Chains A and B, each alone.
Chain A
């Protein structure tokens, strides 16, 4: 089934980021000043429930970041397996039915008929204008008008039951694990958990997880026979598009910060610590970059990239690769426009820290500049970096939608919420309105951004004691 693996640039970076975060996690686990705040995060109810939701997004995004050429049964070579020319991801592979069941054009969510009337040739040769049946959506029904609602109910019930079963299994596994960890009995652990008296709010986490699982199974059941969020102009499943867009959103939100972090940290600390001409130069650079309105700088850079790409079209192996490079470039240029804020923050903080007694004491010991920066300045600004990264994430996800709308975002062929909105917008004038693409992307984006915002609030409160006390 799986042919040659493909590692796109953004795939590599996202796994590098994953590696970094894991390494940082291990480092943080051994440092009390970093572990303490995280402990506060996982002890907050908002913290754990948003974490559950965010990890669902992250899992989809990661699955969607493993690419390969699938093997297909080629007709010409007599059924022998050959490598397809099209790159797909592990996620695509898992949801193959969703990906492959294309209709002709628009159809409403859970519909059995197309959204537009067509000429249909009846078996008796007569041609009428009516809504034709969908090729896949509800195709198993013989009399959709009669059977439809019953079928939907049946599938929903199936989904809910399966979801509940899985949730119960997970709950039991958790209780057993907790009981083993506390050296208690199963009953005690269950009681603590159900009454919500555990230090980490497991109950909240489980309830959120149950919601996610229920929705997941419900949509699996329904989408096996219907397009639960309808289809778009070319008949592609909107649910599939919305899911595929998760990767784009996450990448923009995380890779941008990954790209800008080294520059922001290095330059910010250097400017604040060394002062003098170093400071002047760095300040000049970031004031200059900052003074160009962000959208225009992005527009200019993306336009230039477009020209470059169309003039050098032969350098790219596939459309996917090309779209991927454009995404990477977008991240870089977004990073260039957004590093200045963090840089300025760090400069101010480093300026304060270099006068602090413990840095002065280190100087009095004859400790070198590099050592002072690494040992005294950097660890004491790390929380600012972390807070900024988390806070920036949701803004970047929202920015992607706007940029794609202006056509200076990700490649038009790439699945992204911005592109979904952009294409749906044109259909708003249609009567009756085609609303599902728009609503689907909005809901997927809203859930991610809201979780990220709530999560970042928790993180900020945990890491910035000054703000915590002002509550």
Chain B
């Protein structure tokens, strides 16, 4: 068991290396640092000197892979690849193109992200499971049919519309909560209500439909028939037998996204002006700050792999078939 987890953890190394090389190629080989400098300094009227200073300030004035002018190990370490890409393995993200410490920014900005992402996940999970169970209980009736139609309609609406519509209705017309913004401590709550609500509502369509399929799949299994043959009531069958089995894919599906919650939601955060990692990334993209984008790509991969690892572990915890074999 432990050996298995260690093996999975070791497998992360070549993958992260792959991600690293991929981002390196994308950011430094497709376009040279010169191109980037020119982009930042304005396209046409840039002097070569300005480009050089821009590069030197940000440490892009080194060779990509091999530094001939250095000695010994420095030939490999005093390069862009080592300084900018491999350093990420130490979670040393360096400073952004606008000269801020990325590591510090991330540690500051992940909390507002979590403040939205965690309630959305938990409330959403509860709402979706309850609704799906209800549908499963009333399966093959009009409640089932119309609920599925409702789910399809809800998942056909763009997430952007939920946000814009929600902001317009709740904040602008009803003036219930502020339209956007953020505060520290408890006063943040009033800013969080709307984004969380919208996050939950936006997820009902796809979530409930998916869980309904899972429940119905379990309901058709032989052991459910056995449970009924024992004389158990439909509610007991549903909660004790069906829910318990269907929770395995549901939980592992949740576990895989847990670490990624740190990354925040790009769209929601930027609409509501919440200073989380999502809006951080968006800002970086629109400012074309590649150092930040690079850091976020790496961080995202690490968290994704962590999620995979957690999924493996959670399987062994929830499913006795895996745990005991």
Contacts and interface: CB of A to CB of B under 8 A. Distances in A.
Indicate yes or no for A touching B, C-beta below 8 A: yes
Interface of A: 284-285, 287-293, 295-297, 299-301, 303-304, 306-308, 310-311, 394, 398, 401-402, 405-408, 421, 425, 428, 433, 438, 442, 445-446, 449-450, 453-454, 457, 470-471
Given A290-B304, A303-B288, A296 B281 contact: yes
B96 to A, nearest CB: 14
19 contacts: A287-B15, A291-B19, A291-B304, A292-B19, A292-B23, A293-B260, A300-B23, A303-B288, A307-B35, A402-B159, A402-B160, A402-B266, A406-B266, A442-B157, A445-B158, A446-B156, A449-B157, A450-B153, A470-B216
A407 B288 CA distance: 11
B47 interface: no
A333 B169 CA distance: 36
Given A308-B31, A453-B155, A284 B296 contact: no
Given A288-B15, A401-B158, A453-B156, A300 B31 contact: no
Given A288-B19, A296-B281, A421-B164, 12 more contacts: A284-B14, A287-B15, A292-B297, A292-B301, A295-B266, A299-B293, A304-B26, A308-B30, A311-B43, A406-B285, A407-B286, A445-B158
B263 interface: yes
Contact of A304 (B31, B157, B270): B31
B310 interface: no
Given A292-B301, A293-B263, A310-B43, A401 B160 contact: yes
Q: 5 tightest A-B contacts by CB?
A: A293-B300, A288-B18, A450-B156, A291-B301, A449-B156
Contacts of A471: 140
A421 B172 CA distance: 18
B15 A284 contact: yes
Most buried by A among B14, B158, B260: B158
Contacts of A299: 281, 285, 293
A310 B300 contact: no
Contacts of A290: 304
Contacts of B43: 310-311
A300 to B, nearest CB: 5
B27 A300 contact: yes
Nearest to B278: A295
Nearest to B149: A454
B263 to A, nearest CB: 7
B22 interface: yes
A442 B158 contact: yes
Nearest to A424: B164
A300 B293 contact: yes
A271 B16 CA distance: 21
Given A288-B18, A300-B293, A394 B285 contact: no
A395 to B, nearest CB: 9
A121 to B, nearest CB: 36
Given A300-B26, A402-B160, A442-B158, A453 B152 contact: yes
A292 B27 contact: no
B301 to A, nearest CB: 4
B168 interface: yes
A120 B223 CA distance: 80
B234 interface: no
Contacts, number: 128
B233 interface: no
Contacts of B267: 402, 405-406
A454 B152 contact: yes
Contact of A428 (B27, B35, B168, B266): B168
A464 B194 CA distance: 40
B204 to A, nearest CB: 15
Given A292-B22, A292-B300, A297-B297, A303 B290 contact: yes
B282 A310 contact: no
A310 B153 CA distance: 41
B109 to A, nearest CB: 15
A291 B15 contact: yes
Nearest to B304: A291
Nearest to B159: A402
A405 B278 CA distance: 14
A120 B240 CA distance: 75
Contacts of B30: 304, 308
A280 to B, nearest CB: 10
Nearest to A400: B158
A406 B300 contact: no
Contacts of A405: 160, 267
Contacts of B300: 291-293, 296
A285 to B, nearest CB: 8
B156 A303 contact: no
A290 B18 CA distance: 11
A418 B227 CA distance: 51
B305 A303 contact: no
A433 B38 CA distance: 40
Nearest to A422: B160
B122 interface: no
A341 to B, nearest CB: 13
B198 interface: no
Nearest to B179: A429
A214 B15 CA distance: 56
B293 A303 contact: yes
Contact of A293 (B16, B18, B159, B297): B297
A288 B22 contact: yes
Nearest to B294: A300
A302 to B, nearest CB: 9
Interface string B173-191: 0000000000000000000
Interface string B10-22: 0000111011001
Nearest to A312: B35
B239 interface: no
B217 interface: yes
Interface in B1-52: 14-16, 18-19, 22-23, 26-27, 30-31, 35-36, 38-39, 43
B220 interface: yes
A307 B164 CA distance: 31
B282 A293 contact: no
B161 interface: yes
B271 to A, nearest CB: 8
A445 B157 CA distance: 8
